[in-house]
Amino acid sequence: EADIYQTPRYLVIGTGKKITLECSQTMGHDKMYWYQQDPGMELHLIHYSYGVNSTEKGDLSSESTVSRIRTEHFPLTLESARPSHTSQYLCASSLSYSPLHFGNGTRLTVT
Amino acid sequence: GQQVMQIPQYQHVQEGEDFTTYCNSSTTLSNIQWYKQRPGGHPVFLIQLVKSGEVKKQKRLTFQFGEAKKNSSLHITATQTTDVGTYFCAGRNNAGNMLTFGGGTRLMVKP
């Protein structure tokens, strides 16, 4: 039941490039989240949104930015990718404070 | 701020053995959620506990919420290789607006 979609699934990119990770959900959820996770490790909240035109930074400092112009869309942008950004990025959504639905993630490698 | 600690970080068991992971919050929670992440996958919601002292079962999995609503446990009876993965607890604060994930317990099952 892939109701939350992330693209690309894998991305290898050179240092200094600008990248946008896409996240869309078709469930009409009001809340959306971005987590950063190294393989098998903790989930770090980097951004969240409680609705259109609402975005907040999470617990983990991140050089990325997000936007929420439409309910279903919550893209994450890195203006200048660095090797330290290599990680998996997981998007999630929820209806109000119900449990989270996660996307399949984007595995980012910055060379 | 709210902290959620999870132990152990890793657990190796022989197939057929039992397994338990524990979750402790620094503050009282309104509810606690459990997620499972298979290797290479994304976290998938398992269950939510709301009431003090609540116990819920899903086949071989038993979830408990402490009387003080500050701790929780997940117990798996007679582990199988399909149980392999990382189990995360996530506690929601009393105001309801913050969900904090524990660091996860990675379960490995030897056949």
* Closest CA in chain A for residue B96: A97
Q: How far apart are CA A4 and CA A72, in angstroms?
A: 9
Q: Which residues of B touch A43 (CB under 8 A)?
A: 43, 88, 101, 104
How far is the alpha carbon of B48 from chain A, nearest alpha carbon, in Å? Answer: 8
pLDDT score of B42:
96
- Provide the token pair at B55: 């116990």
- Contact (CB<8Å) A102/B39: no
Q: Which residues of A touch B88 (CB under 8 A)?
A: 43
Residue B21 region, left (φ>0) first, then alpha (ψ -120 to 50), else beta?
Answer: beta
Digit-coded pLDDT (tens) for A48-63: 999 999 999 998 877 8
Q: What percent of chain A is predicted at pLDDT more than 70?
A: 98
- ∠ CA B54-B59-B65, rounded to 5°: 15
Q: How far apart are CA B90 and CA B109, in angstroms?
A: 23
The yes-or-no verdict on residue A1 having pLDDT over 80 is no
Name residue A47's beta-bridge partners: A34, A57
Contact B61, B46 (CB under 8 A): yes
* Closest CA in chain A for residue B37: A40
Contact A27, A39 (CB under 8 A): no
Q: How far apart are CA A67 and CA B88, in angstroms?
A: 28
- Please state whether beta strands B105-110 and B10-14 pair in parallel, antiparallel, or not at all (unpaired): parallel
Name residue A109's beta-bridge partners: A12
* Closest CA in chain B for residue A99: B45
The yes-or-no verdict on residue A75 having pLDDT over 90 is yes
Q: What percent of chain A is predicted at pLDDT more than 90?
A: 88
Contact A32, A93 (CB under 8 A): yes
End-to-end Cα separation, chain A, in angstroms: 33
pLDDT score of B31:
96
Let me know how long chain A is: 111
Q: Which residues of A touch B86 (CB under 8 A)?
A: 40
* Closest CA in chain B for residue A90: B42
Q: How far apart are CA B65 and CA B8, in angstroms?
A: 18
- The C-alpha torsion from A30 through A31 and A34 to A38, rounded to 10°, is -120
Mutate to test the interface with B, among A102, A104, A106, A107 (most CBs of B within 10 A): A102
Among the residue ranges A17-26, A70-79, B45-54, B89-98, the one predicted with the least confidence is B89-98
- Contact (CB<8Å) A40/B39: yes
Under-50 pLDDT residues of chain B? none
- Provide the token pair at A26: 């078709």
Among the residue ranges A33-37, A48-52, A59-63, A87-91, the one predicted with the least confidence is A59-63
- Contact (CB<8Å) A102/B33: no
Which residue in B40, B10, B21 sits closest to B90, CA to CA? B21
- Contact (CB<8Å) A43/B104: yes
